[in-house]
Structures are given as C-alpha cells and as structure tokens.
Structure 1
C-alpha cells in the first residue's frame, strides 16, 4: 500500500530522524512539502546529493539521527562521501533514493535508463544494505524497522523508492504564475527564452535540464540548440568545452539557479579560462520548478558577486521583464565570459520535452554537425 506524504514524515519522526537533507525529486514532492512545516525535523535543501549526505552525516556525528532524500540520477554525487566518509567512518545515515527509470525508462527520458538499472547492483558491490519501497509491498514503517539493526551496526541503510510508493494527498506542482502578485514584473522562463531567441543568430545555445530546455524547444527548436536532460549542474562546463574548442563561434548558456548551485565550482573554471565567446544566462526563480517548486537556497546567494569574483569579465543583474531583452543585447555585444542573472518568477506551463520529437542522440549529432561544419564526429 502506498504511503501518504504525511505518513512518510510521521514515520521518520517515529524512527527518531531529527534532520533531513536532500535534492528534490517529484517522487518526494509531498514529503518535502510536509517537512517545510514539520516542527521537529528541519529540512536542509542541499546543493547536490553528496552535500546532502555529508550534512546528514554531520548531524549524526552531533547525536541527531538524519536522513537523505535523493533521486537516483544523482547517485553519482553520493558515491564520494558514501565511500570516503560514511562507510569508513561508520556513520549510520538513512538514505531514500527514488528509482526513476525503474524497472524501465520511458522513451522520452533515456537519461534514466542506466541509473534505473544499476543502483541496487552498485550498493551490493559496496556491501551497503538496501530495501525497496513499493506501492504494493510492505509499508514504510515495516521497511524502516528492517533498517534499525543496520543503522545500529554503524552502517548506512538505503531505501529505494519506486514510482507511486509515496502518494501526495494534494497535487504537487509549480506555483501558478498568476498567484504570485509579490513578484510584480519579474519575467517567467518563457519571457527569458523569448528574449534570447529574439537576439540569437548563428549562436549555439545550451539549455540546462528541466523546464528551460522545454521552453527553448517549444519556442524555437533549431539544430544549434543543445537540450540537456539530466546532468544537472554541468551545462556551463559543457559550453566551456565547446567555447574553448571553437573560439570563432559564440555560445549561449541558459542555466537555472538550482543547476548552478549544484556544481557552482564550474563558475571558477569558466572565469579562469575566460572564453570571450561565452554568454552565461542564469534564470534565478529560487525554486526547483520541474520537481514541484521546492525552494533552492538561491535567496541568500549573490550569483553576480560570485561570478565577478570568479573571473567573469562582465556581470549584470536584471529583475524585470522589460529589462531582459536589452540586457541580452548588451551581453551579446560584450567580450565574455558574461554572466547575466535574471531574477524571475516560478510557474508557467512546462511544455513538451524535446526528446518527444527529437531523440537525445540526434540532438547531439545535429548540434555537433553544425558546430563542426558537417564533419559529424559523433557516430
């Protein structure tokens, strides 16, 4: 029987969990919403899954049992602190991992194919105990009881959560743009993409995973667009590699605050190599829109200050719809790397994935063919 969001958090409370850290997944949208106002269990939004695990481990060292909420696509971020911190130091942490792409990835989300298959095997190879939470299997209370002796032995315990095993009592979605009057004239993601497309000519555009890529595809699909699905936090590094390899071309990055936070060290690498042909546009709506609108930590992060200190040649901040297009024009005229931070609002229709019409390998092939003058180095 599926576990409701409230029952999920209640079970954590009854199990003695005193802190939860994580990176959101739509499978856990309901529990994270519950945790936002749960009196005894603070929720710590983490930059990535590895920092979530380290945060939970630190809480446990201080005597407060902790749990992690993560998506299996970010399991790779967990591996380092799992194998070099939690396991050797014998710090017992409870870890929930959503099993996206299990038992089979959908045709529109091929990025979940591998992680949907390998997480149980990887945990077995590390001798890390794990249990599966299924919609029609034992309930969460029973599964958590099975983790008690594991945690008591000083080992981490993983609970792998199948789709539908946790049911939200309410519809989890991004805030409706019309219900946020405090945002005033802040642009939404479609406003930003429209402004970029109005100025783009021969430039190559990389868009981060999630709704920005959907908006770019639906407003102006072109072979010179590269839509990221998965690989959250790596779009700036991807663009940096292309910008250094092809200095005669101009590259535009459409990024999000959650994505930049996940691997913010990439800003220092971009700033160090300072490619003049790179324009980095950061849409800062301060939520993870595609997983249910959970808050990021961007409200206390000055991305423009960080980029300037990292070596970006030009940095600009705008916070109104009317200012976006002139700022894009200025960024295209300037010598890069440029960071344009656009303070935006959450919500709006998601649109269709690019992979529903163009396969992910074809997105890469046609982009590379344009960039290499038809040499098509990708098989």
Structure 2
C-alpha cells in the first residue's frame, strides 16, 4: 500500500503543486487530502480537468497533476491528443488514474471492460505509465516524472482499488436533510404502472433498486446506468423521442454537471413525455463526498431558460407526495430539483443481470 503523503511528497519534489480532476472512489484518499488545498480545482469532467492542467502549465511552466477514474479517460482523450500530445503542443502532465477493473481485482462488468484496455489506451496515446503499489514504485515514479519534465511528455500513475492507505479524514457531510430513501419510496408509490425510469450511475441506481425490492414496489420499469456518468439525460431523451410513454430521468448533481450541454439538448428537442429529476445533495456522494457546487446555481431560472415548462423543488418531507403527484401528472417537459441528504443505506446492492434488466425495460407490457 501507499500513503497519500508519500505520493504528494514525490509530486512536490518535482514542483508539482497544482491538482485538478474528477473525484473517484479509488482515489478518494487523495481527495480527502486535497480538501483544504487552495491549489485544487474539482472539474466537472476529465477533459475539462486536462484542459485546466494545460492552462496551468501555460501560465506557470509547472507540471500539473490531473486525477481521474479510468472510465473517464475517454472523456480526456480529446485534449490529451489534440492539445497536449508531443506532436502538437508537447505539454507535460502527470495523470493519476484510478484503475477500476484491473486484471488483479474482481470488479463490476463495466469496470472490467475498461480496466482490461486501460494500459492499451495509454500505449496508443504514447503515454508512459507506472503501476503504483509500493514505495519502490513511488521511487520509479519519481524518476519517470523527472524524465517527463525534461522531455515535456505525459506520465500516468495507475492506482488499483485499495492501494492508498486509509486516512482518519472523514468525507464531508451533505448540506440537505431530506432522506433519499423516503423520496424514492414516495416516487415509486406514485408512478403510473407503465412508466419508464432511467437513473444515473453511482448511488442513485443502486438506491432505486434497493427501495423497489425493500418495499416491493413494482410500478414502472427501470434502466440503471451502471456507467456512462453524465449521459443519463441523453439516454432518457433518446428513448422519449420515439415512445409515447412518460419517462422519468433521475440524475445526480455530479452527473448533471459532467455534460451540462445535454440538458440544453433536452430543452430544445424533448417532447412532453420526458420528466427530469435532479437529486441534488451538492456532493459526489458515491466517491467520497466532494462538493459539486450545484447549490450555487439558480436552477429555476436556469431550467426555464433552457426550455423546461415548469420547475418544482422539494426540500421537505411534507412536500413530497403533493409535488411528486403534480410533477408526474403534468403533460409537459418539467424539471424537479430534490434537495436530498447523502446516502444513509449501508451495503447497497449492485445491478447484476444487466441483459435481463435491459430486456424487461424494453418490454412494452
């Protein structure tokens, strides 16, 4: 295992003191360490993080550290290839990549697929990498960083689940109090029988599945986005355009921000059958509780400016049933913000038979 302090020390020794990235469960100990660091920017997606890092280098001539989960490496490809690549602007970067689905660790299907090809992607990009597991690996990483600085090249450190030693730092608490389980229960109780629900990756899909089973609530059919963070709204839009059934998109605030332009696409092209729910706890809850800053957006003005007909907000228990019923009943493109607490459910289940879930969702009965 590796201590975060030791990893950061190596970076500091090489004048790398600026951090930007997208929170990841594998790297959450690094996120905890960076909570009060003034030279730290939480980006909305990995491509933006790489671009912020590039801007930092152009301003300071110092190599930045960009962190992400390997699933987000695809989001980062454009600036890595089109700007930072040695045959373009030749800009040095240090990438810290949480390696979900690595060959050595049992993981979920979506992570296994990406984990298997992560090293091949880096090789195609001509990015050297070091698998970080031990103090000896840190020494190797240190030497590679020096070479990267000298040649203005990109270097990656691959970190498997459980590699970073746990710290005493606790994840930040959410700022809202409405219980998410109660919200899901009330929503599912009031769905029309044939409604469809598409829910975002992270805790949202897992909690939705948990609540259905716990309370035996069978109205509607769910499609759980086990991956593809930020794409939930687009999948929901694509479904809604050629189907007259009402469909509910349940998004999280981190997912909402990741590809924010997709919400504008909904506002421009969606029919009256699409209903958008933003579960806002102002945190990246499933990967460490880092702040998303969605609390600073005036969502009522924002949603209406994008083309949503009505805006609803729920932040109290006694509002749940009344607003949910009205939201579902309306025959219009509506936006519902639900200000919820962080998850309180321990040992959440994970969707397993994904093909079965897909078939049941597509069944029109």
> Normalising to structure 2: TM-score of the pair?
0.91
Determine the structure 1 residue equivalent to 2:185.
194
> Does the 8 Å contact 2:130/2:137 carry over to 1?
no
What is the correspondence of 1:357-372 to structure 2 with a 5 Å cutoff? 358-368=352-362, 370-371=363-364
Contact 2:131 2:137 in 1 (8 A): no
How far did 1:293 drift?
1.0
Give the equivalent residue in structure 2 for 1:126: 125
Shift of 1:48: 0.6
1:94 aligns with 94
* Counterpart contact for 2:241–2:270, Cα < 8 Å: no
Contact 2:31-2:288 within 8 A present in 1 as well: no
**Residues 25 and 287 in structure 2, CA contact (< 8 A), matched pair in contact too:** yes
Specify the alignment match of 1:377 in structure 2. none
Q: How many pairs does the alignment contain?
A: 356
CA RMSD of superposed structures (Å): 2.0
Report the CA distance between 1:350 and its aligned residue.
Answer: 4.4
Aligned equivalent of 1:164: 162
Alignment check: 8 A CA contact 2:14 2:145 kept? no
Deviations 1:228-254 (A, max 9, x none): 11110111111111111102x010111
Report the Cα offset of residue 361 of structure 1: 1.7
Summarize deviations over 1:110-132 as a string: whole Å, max 9, x none: 11122101121111122121111
Q: What is residue 209 of structure 1 aligned with on the other side?
A: 201
Tell me the alpha carbon deviations over residues 252-273 of structure 1, each in whole angstroms, 9 at most, x when there is no partner. Answer: 1111100100011111110001
1:289 aligns to what? 285
State the secondary structure of the residue aligned to 2:276.
strand
Alignment of 1:301-312 (within 5 A): 301-312=297-308
* 1:144 paired residue among 142, 146, 153: 142
Per-residue Cα deviation, 1:56-108 (whole angstroms, up to 9, x for no partner): 1111110143111100011110111111111121111111111100015636x
Q: Which among 52, 59, 63 is matched to residue 49 of structure 2? A: 52
1:235 to 226, 232, 237: 232
Is contact 2:144-2:155 (8 Å) kept?
no
Cα 1:50/1:148, change in 2 over 3 Å: same
Q: How many angstroms does 1:366 deviate by?
A: 1.4
Q: 1:174·1:347 contact (CA, 8 Å) conserved in 2?
A: no
Alpha-carbon displacement from aligned partner over 1:155-211 (angstroms, at most 9, x marks no partner)? 211111122321122375574xxxx7x64xx31321221121121122111111111
Look up the match of 1:9: 8
Contact 1:289 1:347 survives alignment (8 Å):
yes
Partner in structure 1 of residue 210 of structure 2: 218
Q: Which runs of 5+ in 2 are unaligned?
A: none
TM-score by length of 1: 0.88
CA distance in structure 2 between the partners assigned to 1:341 and 1:141 by the alignment: 48
